[in-house]
């Protein structure tokens, strides 16, 4: 009897406490979700993930959500909360904040251990960003007229013309054709080498990159649902990704080693410097390959930029980004090293350098190539625009003659065509995910620290309030009395502190490749093929479905028309 009397109050107490806790938890949860920006409901545990991973065009899904819920949308993807920003004003304001520069710490991102430039954070990101910005400028990416970087691109443009001539008007996939040449521009900027035509290393490298993307695509759901990566077979997939990353890194590493050896040789050859020990990286290995062209091997020192033959980085100008890094790493001046890369050991800085190379290849090659392919596709679809491009060119250069940066100021319509291409197809429609480092209060809602934040670039570019009649391809919207305009709502390179580092380079490449192709070739749809559409697929970039076209040399076209 006594036992029962004692038992009942305890049970009641327990039930009361549990109920109170459950109600409290429920109220807190409701309060938490009500404080968030509006968004769709999802399923327990996985949230809205099935709708996003199941879509071949997630950017279009986000666009619909933004249309339904407003300028800021939140949704749960597995364990991650996502906020989408649907106006340029919000992206500008929020990504300009110092606490907007985090990147997601997801299981697959973490494989890179926070190295490089795209996924690094904090002081490491700041120092690398500063270093790269300065070096891009000094290599002539920003102030092309003072430097020789344009010559790298023009050399590649000339090679592309040769490649296109060789097709002799046959049907080709422009993505394949442009790949090596766009890749070579980055190769030259980074490491001063280029792949020759038919170089098997190029296919090997490309296959590795494609394999990496395929492997990542197969398990990227694990970024939001880490438990997924514990399923049978997933550990093997992660290992394969790691192996692939090692292979791609070692490809760049070999070029670093070769350069170290060259620099060490130069040091030994320099009178009075025989006693100098080779730099730390001069000992990295001896795996030297001779299958590529290199600036040094091609004697670029003779082009007047090289000042003298003093050792590694002393009193001579760097030829590429690798030189810029090695000048600091190999330099005798420890204080200079610490000032440039505070808190890093030389070994850390060397790993960092190789990952930065990887990042710049990934960020800079696919984006430019895809934009060029879209531009060509749009010229097939818009013959009136293509004709006006040619008319403008003919006022400035003769058909087939090289178009250079010097001509750019007279060819604003071509720049407008490139802008309109970037707007109409948004090659990087969701930017790169940011993470806020503190709680934000935006438009009356709370975005808790650690939220994954994406700018809806394609939504902004296709918003009729930002661009009238947005589905129409109209380059003139970027011109005012013939002067190129950059509207606030035009944000293909992102905004704020982590804005694209390669914008100036990308714009230079896009102009030179596009203008020169248009000046030397007429583009034709292959007979019997359907006109390619503007609904692409979203992988690393928003790319068109494969299509073919024919490049007819203007010399041949003019000859045929006079016959």
Give residues in contact with ligand HEM (CB under 6 A).
95, 117-118, 129, 186, 359-360, 363-364, 367-368, 371, 427-428, 431-432, 492-494, 498-502, 505-506
Please say which residue, 268 or 438, places its beta carbon nearer to ligand HEM.
438
Chain position whose Cβ is nearest to ligand HEM: 502
Supply the minimum distance, in Å, between the C-beta of residue 431 and ligand HEM. Answer: 4
SS percent in the chain: helix, strand, coil, step 5: 55, 10, 35
The DSSP line for 317-358 is --SSHHHHHHHHHH-S-HHHHHHHSTT--HHHHHHHHHHHHH
Please say which residue, 34 or 105, places its beta carbon nearer to ligand HEM.
105
Q: Which of 429, 480, 366 has its CA nearest to residue 63? A: 429
Supply the minimum distance, in Å, between the C-beta of residue 128 and ligand HEM. Answer: 8
Supply the minimum distance, in Å, between the C-beta of residue 297 and ligand HEM. Answer: 23
Secondary structure class of 102 (helix, strand, coil): strand
Please say which residue, 264 or 427, places its beta carbon nearer to ligand HEM.
427
Supply the minimum distance, in Å, between the C-beta of residue 242 and ligand HEM. Answer: 22
Q: Give 194's strand partners.
A: 293
Please say which residue, 121 or 159, places its beta carbon nearer to ligand HEM.
121
Q: Please state, in angstroms and rounded to a whole number, the distance separating the CA atoms of residues 395 and 401.
A: 12
Contacts for 160-167 with beta carbons within 8 Å, 24 or more apart? 160/513, 160/516, 160/517, 161/516, 161/517, 161/520, 163/197, 164/517, 164/520, 164/521, 164/551, 164/553, 165/553, 167/550, 167/551
Decide if 249 contacts 210 (C-beta within 8 A): no
Supply the minimum distance, in Å, between the C-beta of residue 148 and ligand HEM. Answer: 17
The DSSP line for 289-313 is --SSEETTTTTGGGGTT-----STT
Please say which residue, 279 or 502, places its beta carbon nearer to ligand HEM.
502
Supply the minimum distance, in Å, between the C-beta of residue 498 and ligand HEM. Answer: 4
Please say which residue, 73 or 427, places its beta carbon nearer to ligand HEM.
427
Q: Please state, in angstroms and rounded to a whole number, the distance separating the CA atoms of residues 178 and 163.
A: 9
Please say which residue, 264 or 322, places its beta carbon nearer to ligand HEM.
322
Please say which residue, 267 or 367, places its beta carbon nearer to ligand HEM.
367
Supply the minimum distance, in Å, between the C-beta of residue 454 and ligand HEM. Answer: 9
Task: Report how far Cα 321 is from the mean position of its chain's Cα atoms.
Answer: 17
Q: Please state, in angstroms and rounded to a whole number, the distance separating the CA atoms of residues 543 and 535.
A: 9
Q: What are phi and psi of 507, to 5 degrees?
A: -65, -35
Supply the minimum distance, in Å, between the C-beta of residue 91 and ligand HEM. Answer: 8
Please say which residue, 78 or 494, places its beta carbon nearer to ligand HEM.
494
The DSSP symbol for 43 reads B
Supply the minimum distance, in Å, between the C-beta of residue 523 and ligand HEM. Answer: 20
Supply the minimum distance, in Å, between the C-beta of residue 359 and ligand HEM. Answer: 6
Supply the minimum distance, in Å, between the C-beta of residue 360 and ligand HEM. Answer: 4
Please say which residue, 495 or 518, places its beta carbon nearer to ligand HEM.
495
Q: Please state, in angstroms and rounded to a whole number, the distance separating the CA atoms of residues 431 and 526.
A: 34
Question: What is each CA distance from 128 to 123, 132, 135, 169, 273, in whole angstroms?
Answer: 8, 6, 10, 45, 31
Supply the minimum distance, in Å, between the C-beta of residue 186 and ligand HEM. Answer: 6
Alpha helix stretches (DSSP H) within 116-233: 122-138, 149-167, 174-191, 200-219
Please say which residue, 413 or 513, places its beta carbon nearer to ligand HEM.
513
Decide if 449 contacts 498 (C-beta within 8 A): no
Q: Which of 19, 116, 521, 132 has its CA nearest to residue 354? A: 116
Cα torsion 270, 276, 282, 286 to 10°: value is 70
Supply the minimum distance, in Å, between the C-beta of residue 500 and ligand HEM. Answer: 3
Host H or E run for residue 77: strand 72-77
Please say which residue, 182 or 385, places its beta carbon nearer to ligand HEM.
182
Token representation of residue 395: 């006022």
Please say which residue, 279 or 364, places its beta carbon nearer to ligand HEM.
364
Question: What is each CA distance from 342 to 40, 99, 532, in whole angstroms?
Answer: 45, 21, 51
């Amino acid at each position: 009897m006594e036992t029962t009397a004692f038992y009942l109050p305890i049970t009641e107490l327990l039930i009361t406490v549990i109920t109170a806790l459950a109600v409290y938890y429920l109220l807190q949860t409701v309060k938490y979700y009500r404080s968030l920006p509006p968004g769709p409901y999802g399923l327990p545990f996985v949230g809205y993930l099935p709708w996003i991973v199941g879509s071949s065009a997630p950017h279009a899904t986000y666009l619909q959500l933004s249309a339904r819920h407003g300028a800021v949308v939140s949704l749960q993807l597995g364990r991650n909360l996502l906020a989408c920003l649907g106006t340029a004003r919000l992206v500008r304001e929020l990504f300009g904040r110092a606490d907007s520069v985090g990147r997601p710490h997801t299981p697959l991102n973490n494989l890179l251990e926070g190295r490089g430039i795209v996924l690094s954070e904090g002081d490491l990101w700041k120092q690398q960003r500063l270093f790269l910005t300065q070096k891009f400028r000094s290599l002539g990416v920003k102030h092309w007229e003072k430097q020789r970087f344009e010559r790298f691109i023009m050399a590649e443009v000339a090679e592309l013309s040769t490649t296109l001539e060789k097709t002799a008007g046959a049907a080709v996939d422009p993505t394949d054709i442009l790949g090596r040449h766009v890749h070579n521009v980055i190769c030259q900027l980074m490491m001063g080498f280029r792949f020759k035509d038919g170089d098997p290393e190029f296919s090997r490298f490309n296959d590795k990159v494609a394999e990496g993307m395929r492997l990542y695509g197969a398990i990227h759901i694990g970024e939001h649902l880490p438990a997924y990566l514990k399923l049978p077979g997933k550990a093997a997939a992660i290992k394969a990704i790691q192996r692939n990353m090692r292979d791609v890194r070692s490809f760049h590493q070999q070029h670093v080693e070769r350069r170290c050896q060259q620099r060490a040789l130069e040091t030994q050859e320099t009178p009075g410097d025989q006693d100098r020990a080779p730099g730390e990286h001069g000992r990295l290995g001896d795996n030297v390959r001779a299958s590529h062209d290199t600036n040094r091997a091609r004697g670029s020192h003779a082009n007047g930029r090289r000042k003298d033959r003093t050792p590694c980085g002393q009193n001579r100008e760097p030829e590429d980004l690798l030189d810029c890094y090695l000048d600091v790493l190999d330099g005798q001046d420890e204080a200079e090293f610490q000032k440039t890369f505070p808190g890093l050991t030389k070994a850390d800085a060397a790993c960092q350098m190789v990952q930065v190379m990887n990042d710049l290849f990934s960020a800079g090659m696919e984006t430019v190539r895809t934009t060029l392919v879209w531009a060509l596709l749009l010229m097939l679809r818009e013959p009136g625009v293509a004709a006006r491009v040619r008319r403008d060119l003919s006022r400035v250069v003769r058909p087939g003659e090289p178009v250079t940066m010097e001509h750019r100021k007279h060819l604003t319509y071509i720049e407008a065509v490139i802008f309109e291409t970037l707007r109409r197809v948004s090659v990087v429609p969701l930017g790169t995910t940011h993470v806020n480092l503190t709680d934000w209060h935006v438009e009356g809602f709370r975005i808790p620290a650690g939220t994954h934040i994406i700018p809806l670039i394609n939504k902004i570019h296709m918003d009729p309030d930002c661009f009238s009649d947005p589905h129409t391809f109209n380059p003139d919207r970027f011109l005012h009395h013939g002067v190129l305009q950059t509207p606030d709502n035009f944000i293909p390179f992102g905004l704020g502190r982590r804005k694209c580092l390669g914008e100036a380079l990308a714009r230079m490449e896009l102009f030179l490749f596009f203008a020169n192709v248009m000046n030397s070739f007429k583009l034709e749809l292959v007979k019997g093929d359907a006109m390619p559409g503007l609904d692409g697929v979203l992988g690393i970039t928003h790319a068109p479905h494969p299509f073919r076209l024919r490049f007819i040399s203007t010399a041949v076209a003019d000859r045929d028309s006079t016959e």
